[in-house]
Structure 1
Amino acid sequence: MYVAVKGGERAIDNAHAWLAEERRGDQAVSELSIEQIRNQLTLAVNRVMAEGSLFDPDLAALAIKQSRGDMIEAIFLMRAYRTTLPRFGYSRPIETANMACDRRVSATFKDVPGGQILGPTFDYTHRLLDFALAAEGEVPEAPTVTAASERIPHVAEFLNQEGLIQTETPSEAVPPDLTREPLELPADRALRLQSLTRGDEGFVLGMAYSTQRGYARNHAFVGELRIGTVDVEMDIPELGFAIDIGEIEVTECETVNQFTGSKTEPPQFTRGYGLVFGQSERKSISMALVDRALRWKELGEDNLGAPAQDEEFVLYHCDNIQATGFLEHIKLPHYVDFQSELELIRKLRREALETVAGQVPNVAEAAE
């Protein structure tokens, strides 16, 4: 017989205590500090900030520690904390052309004004385990490098001078705020970009990869990928002008995509765009590819039925917090639901067996 499992607050408290013990690990091993996580697991910190929609490296490091390294749980913690913060106003759009670049590469032009800046990257490593790290040896000192602080124009600006790439028309409309308003479809590009930058990196990567394999006919070149710090400015009504309120690190990617033209536009290149908190190259490139795939309607292209072109499919499924909540709720008690399903199956089986028994003659009678 199936009965409800009994429990209560005591069981939950014990589960929390056990979780805290597991999180701490061996007491003989030094505990991880927030500073260690923030400084040595920076890419994990960056992901939590980007998908948690909150730029605060210390809080992101705390969330990673509290979640035992579960990135989605850490992102959930950041979003939950974010909802408790007051909103004082909105900053001006950041000027990425004024970025102090630590890294800036282009796959379309070898020689570009400002130069190629390789910066800190895994691109040229051999992907061999470095056992010196296990021995906690001294790290070789890197050469002293100063981030490029002069204005570095975007590569797309050079293509735009010849009219070879689609011109992006600035909009004066205030974009909706996805962190305060629910997603509604159809979504304009500003809302789609917000959703993608908060989206799960693995999901967005998978969608981007699908476009490269032919599911959207979306061949792209990385026009430019840049990583660095930008100033954040905010208008102060009492002063009558904007002031710097801080700086943030971001990764920006702009892709150059093929386009055959339409009834109203001549053949030219088009763009995909990605912008993410921190150093997050894979996410920003993936975001740019999916952004371009979702622009098929505004560019007058045919919908090939590719998953990455389906706005509803992409935007409703890229959010890992919503996906996790819906997925994990099925492990919570569903006793009443299951009992009803169980009784239904039993009833159907009885009816099926009675039907079969009425159709098949008794074996003993058939033998006589």
Structure 2
Amino acid sequence: MYVAVKGGEAAIRNAHKLLADRRRGDRDVAPIQLDQIVEQMSLAVDRVMAEGSLYDPELAALAIKQARGDLIEAIFLVRAYRTTLPRFGYTKALETAQMQIERRISATFKDLPGGQLLGPTFDYTHRLLDPELAEDAPIEAPDQREEPEVFTPRVTDILGHDGMIEEDGELPEGAVAGDLTREPLTFPLERDLRLQALARGDEGFLLGLAYSTQRGYARSHPFVGEIRIGEVEIELDVAELDFPLTLGTIRVTECQMVNQFKGSAKQPPQFTRGYGLVFGQSERKAMSMSLCDRALRARELGEDITATAQDEEFVISHSDNVQSTGFVEHLKLPHYVDFQAELDLIRRMRAEHEHNRLAGVETKEAAE
């Protein structure tokens, strides 16, 4: 595409060399290692895994290093690598009630079975730069705490027991969940595909939409029923076994948003659900996802669609940052022929405009 650039392919090779040189930086500074990125930039790693749709911290760290810290480029790299991997099967649905909880908070109930666990969070920190971090000062170890019980019921389970919230949706018997990585999307979407798209959607885009729902651009009055972060087991059904096989554990963030609902002809007044689940620790993304999920259920719940966040085709079609990046950045590629055609068109239009202007002046002078 860049054959017209001076030097052609040689220029492109040199551009790659320059990129590698800038990525390495000052040779007097030790090169950053993948384990450093995994351990010390874990939230960036988690975002790349979530939006790249591939749970592998080391590969995500490699992508971040290769992309010089550009997370969207890193997500693109992970997505591309993911397409080369074979598909062995589908694991069972995650049982997040069995999560080994690291953090768990609720804005709806103060006292919960299993308690609230603050965990690692910026929520209670002062937004002041810490100069001690520049000196690599020793870190005080946290106090040891007792691990919560393995089974910790969700807040929505408590509300459901009293019939105060809609029932949790389930796929019909024999139904197979969709897979947007295998089949093209067609609108309207079922909720399983919509949640898949939101889970790997751009955090900033979903955050903006979620914010809009709180500013009156959708019928939304949300409460954080619960946010929980922790390790959950991945299980796979194997035909030769009469029990599921545990493959390992992954860390996830789950958000259950509780929304007011005045009811309809078919349903009584009750709370409704918005749901978010993403890889790693990513509360902002999980919360934004759950708010957007609830907004996109407007048609299902018989609500008027009045806001952008309720428009399924708009939200899903523009939430993928890899697709968005490709469409925006393709503008950097040569468009010489197209531009020359438009340049010629503008010249003809200007000539016609000038001709009409002079003709108008002559007519006016003749009239005088």
Report TM bin, short chain. over 0.9
For 1:214 and 1:336, locate their aligned partners in 2 and report how far apart those are by CA, in whole Å. 46
Amino acid at match of 1:316: S
Q: CA deviation at 1:356?
A: 2.2
- Conservation of the 8 A alpha-carbon contact between 1:231 and 1:244: yes
Amino acid at match of 2:326: G
For 1:143 and 1:36, locate their aligned partners in 2 and report how far apart those are by CA, in whole Å. 24
Q: Which residue of 2 aligns with 1:144?
A: 144
For 1:313 and 1:362, locate their aligned partners in 2 and report how far apart those are by CA, in whole Å. 51
Amino acid at match of 1:100: Q
For 1:68 and 1:149, locate their aligned partners in 2 and report how far apart those are by CA, in whole Å. 41
User: Which deviations, in whole Å up to 9, do the C-alpha atoms of 1:236-295 show, x marking residues without a partner?
Assistant: 112343110011000000011000000011111111000000000000011111100110
Would the alpha carbon gap of residues 358 and 5 (structure 1) be closer, same or farther in structure 2, given more than 3 Å must change?
farther
- Conservation of the 8 A alpha-carbon contact between 1:165 and 1:269: yes
Q: Which runs of 5+ in 2 are unaligned?
A: none
- 1:347 equivalent to 2:348? Answer yes
Q: CA deviation at 1:175?
A: 1.5
Q: Equivalent residue of 2:226, what SS?
A: strand
Q: Which residue of 1 aligns with 2:105?
A: 105
For 2:20 and 2:360, locate their aligned partners in 1 and report how far apart those are by CA, in whole Å. 62
- Conservation of the 8 A alpha-carbon contact between 2:254 and 2:276: yes
For 1:148 and 1:15, locate their aligned partners in 2 and report how far apart those are by CA, in whole Å. 53
- 1:319 equivalent to 2:320? Answer yes
Most deviating of 11-20 and 162-171: 162-171
- Conservation of the 8 A alpha-carbon contact between 1:260 and 1:266: yes
User: Which deviations, in whole Å up to 9, do the C-alpha atoms of 1:31-90 show, x marking residues without a partner?
Assistant: 000000000000000000000000000000000000000000000000000000011111
Of residues 268, 279, 282, the one that matches 2:281 is: 279
Q: CA deviation at 1:362?
A: 9.8
Q: Which runs of 5+ in 1 are unaligned?
A: none
For 2:304 and 2:7, locate their aligned partners in 1 and report how far apart those are by CA, in whole Å. 56
What TM-score, normalized to structure 2? 0.95
Identity of aligned residues (%): 63
For 1:33 and 1:157, locate their aligned partners in 2 and report how far apart those are by CA, in whole Å. 43
User: Which deviations, in whole Å up to 9, do the C-alpha atoms of 1:295-324 show, x marking residues without a partner?
Assistant: 011112222x10100001100011000110
For 1:123 and 1:76, locate their aligned partners in 2 and report how far apart those are by CA, in whole Å. 30
Q: Which residue of 2 aligns with 1:94?
A: 94
Amino acid at match of 1:347: R
For 1:236 and 1:8, locate their aligned partners in 2 and report how far apart those are by CA, in whole Å. 54
For 2:6 and 2:16, locate their aligned partners in 1 and report how far apart those are by CA, in whole Å. 18
Q: Which residue of 1 aligns with 2:339?
A: 338
RMSD: 1.6
- 1:14 equivalent to 2:14? Answer yes
Q: Equivalent residue of 1:77, what SS?
A: helix
For 2:157 and 2:361, locate their aligned partners in 1 and report how far apart those are by CA, in whole Å. 81
Of residues 206, 209, 217, the one that matches 1:207 is: 209
Q: CA deviation at 1:348?
A: 1.2
- 1:67 equivalent to 2:67? Answer yes
Q: CA deviation at 1:145?
A: 3.7
Q: CA deviation at 1:146?
A: 5.3
Q: Which residue of 2 aligns with 1:39?
A: 39
Would the alpha carbon gap of residues 262 and 284 (structure 1) be closer, same or farther in structure 2, given more than 3 Å must change?
same
Between the two proteins, the alignment pairs up a number of residues equal to 362
